[in-house]
């Protein structure tokens, strides 16, 4: 179960190459060989996690924090999606 208390990090051993143009960015994951078209929120999360792990609450602060219930669920869905793409993973306990 994904919660805002869960801490995340970039998936180890990957180098994410990205190219941006006209408001869109693609990210290449050299570990999986996959390329992803990502939005600004996802890129902000990846950039932050590149320097250090963070929990969902800390990541929300990058976007102003104080999310309502619907926004919280959308944010958690974004974290789940980045995890499914193997770009991020929960930190080990």
Read off the DSSP letter of residue 59.
H
How far is C-alpha 90 from the geometric centre of its chain's CA atoms? Answer: 11
Q: Which residue has the tokens 């969902």?
A: 56
Q: What is the pLDDT of residue 56?
A: 92
Decide: residue 90, CB within 10 A, 0-12 exposed, 13-18 middle, 19+ buried.
Answer: middle
Q: How does pLDDT run across 53-83, given as a tens digit for each residue?
A: 999 989 999 988 778 888 888 999 999 999 9
Coil/strand/helix, residue 28: strand
Sequence spans of domains, the chain: 7-90
CATH code that applies to domain 7-90: 3.90.930
Q: Which residue has the higher pLDDT, 19 or 23?
A: 19
């Amino acid at each position: 179960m994904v919660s805002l208390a869960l801490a995340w990090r970039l998936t180890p051993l990957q180098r994410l190459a990205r190219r941006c143009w006209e408001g869109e960015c693609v990210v290449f994951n050299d570990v999986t060989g996959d390329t992803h078209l990502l939005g600004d929120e996802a890129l902000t999360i990846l950039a932050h996690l590149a320097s250090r792990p963070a929990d969902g609450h800390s990541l929300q602060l990058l976007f102003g924090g104080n999310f309502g219930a619907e926004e919280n669920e959308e944010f958690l869905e974004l974290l789940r999606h980045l995890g499914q793409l193997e770009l991020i993973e929960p930190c080990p306990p």
